[in-house]
Amino acid sequence: MLSHSSEGKIFLVKARVLSKTNEVIIENNGFAIISGIAVIAVLFMVSRQNFLLFHSLVEIFSIIIAAGIFMLAWNTRKIQENGYLLFLGIAYLFVGGIDLLHTLSYKGMSVFTGHDTDLPTQLWIIARYLESVTLLLAPVFLRHKFKPTIVLSCYTAIVLILLLSVFLWQIFPACFIEGVGLTAFKTISEFIICFILLGAIALLFNRRSEFNRKIFGLIVASIFIKMFAELMFASYMTVYGLINVAGHVFKTLSFYLIYLAIIYSGLKEPFTVLFRKLKKSETEYKSLFEENLSGFALHEIICNADGQPVDYRFLAVNPAFEKLTGLKAKDLVGKTVLEALPATEKYWIEQYGKVALTGESVEFENYSSELDKHYLVLAYRPAENQFACVIQDVTDKRKFGEEREKLVRELQKALEEVKTLHGIIPICAYCKKIRNDKGAWNAVEAYVSEHTHAVFSHGACPDCYEKQMAEIDADEARTDN
């Protein structure tokens, strides 16, 4: 049964619009991918001329995307269907913030004096741990929501403690030693991060039904490429080296895929990101509407100046409704019932009007003289001044029931009119009296009258008549003598 029919109409319209624009969206995605490859190629050439400029551009790119994810997630949090996007958005706000500090502290930027190459490396590893753990936990919120302030407070506390351990307490493990290279902690951490990302992919596959296929592919590809970036960053010897360049290129590509999956798709195709379940509901609604074997129709009630229902208009009907009534949707939708079926009985309008105006659902059976059929109807109100009805044709069932009742009445009447004697009847061989169930002996007339509807009319057979007359004559002769 359909519970939100008016929303269903909106879904169907949106489906048509989406299908019309699908080719344009595909073309835009292709253009976006080509543009991304071109940008990466340009960045690589920049790295050969000025590594510091290259590094700043790459990091600023990822910071902008992280901020974009947060802005999209935060400003749409009230209409999101689960907590996945919001959780990512909050986390990427902090990931982008730490990446900004990493960029400003990079060797040659001269922003944080008194620190060497170890500082940006420490900030890098903090950001990557934070990002990987976020990607691991995020699938949990595909089926749950949370209070944003709680998650925001937790990330604030965690990041604050980590930054204090680097800048103030200086207890965070060293990650890069000048003249030596990466520390064991940094290298091991990169591999740990890769394992965390593998876990994130496994959880995503377990919940892949919750995603649009394209979005799922982009996110998984982004995480895989992120793993390649971490492997690059696990083996470089100098922060200006070619391996470091490759790692940053992979990072750029990873963030670009996240951009395509969340920001680009979220704005261009909100049904694939923000309203995934709504899109799924649209498909289910359409299937239920079109394939339901029961007739379904949505109407709006029409009232006079006194607020009394006098007519109703067809808004939508399903194929089963057409089959059960013999009417076509093209001849009904947009018209009132009195326009389409002028002889419609008043009780239909009154009954439906009560449902549309009071919201009280009803189930009843009525006869339509226009269609010469009996219908079993379930009517309810999906929206103000509207009513929806689910109908079944019970004409044959009704006729069969009436014929059966007629036959039963005739049989009952026959049984009442017919009583028969059966079995062994105890009768006296001499006086011909019959013994009843209580042991009393009654005349044949009394017994038969009690057990049948027969009525006796007394007379005499010829033999008995002659015998009785002979006895009468004999009695008179004796009297005369």
Tell me the residue type at 307.
G
Q: Name, in order, each residue with C-beta under 8 angstroms of 148's C-beta and a sequence gap of 6 or more.
A: 74, 77, 86, 90
pLDDT (0 to 100) of residue 25 = 40
Residue 7: band (very low, low, confident or very high) from pLDDT cuts 50, 70, 90: very low
Taking residues 360-378, report their average pLDDT: 86
For residue 348, which of 392, 320, 319, 379 has the smallest C-alpha distance? 379
For the stretch 207-213, contacts whose Cβ atoms lie closer than 8 Å and that sit 24 or more positions apart, written own/partner, are 207/139, 207/142, 207/143, 210/82, 210/84, 210/142, 210/143, 210/276, 211/276, 212/265, 212/272, 212/273, 212/276, 212/279
Taking residues 316-344, report their average pLDDT: 88
For residue 148, which of 201, 78, 213, 101 has the smallest C-alpha distance? 78
Nearest-angstrom CA–CA distance, 64 and 289 = 44
Taking residues 165-193, report their average pLDDT: 92
Q: Per the structure block, which two tokens stand in for 213?
A: 């296929």
pLDDT, tens digit (0-9, with 9 covering 90-100), for 412-435:
766 565 555 566 777 777 777 777
Q: What percent of the chain has pLDDT over 70?
A: 80
Nearest-angstrom CA–CA distance, 406 and 4 = 43
pLDDT, tens digit (0-9, with 9 covering 90-100), for 254-310:
998 898 888 876 666 654 554 455 445 455 445 545 555 678 888 999 999 888 999
pLDDT (0 to 100) of residue 90 = 96
Q: If you ran DSSP here, which 8-state letter would residue 4 be given?
A: -
Query: Has residue 3 got a pLDDT over 70?
Result: no
pLDDT (0 to 100) of residue 391 = 85
Q: Name, in order, each residue with C-beta under 8 angstroms of 98's C-beta and a sequence gap of 6 or more.
A: 123, 126, 127, 130, 159, 163
What domains, with CATH codes, occur in the chain? 5-278 (1.20.1070), 292-397 (3.30.450.20), 423-455 (no CATH)
- 197 three-class SS: helix
pLDDT, tens digit (0-9, with 9 covering 90-100), for 31-84:
656 776 777 778 778 877 888 888 899 899 999 999 999 998 898 888 777 888
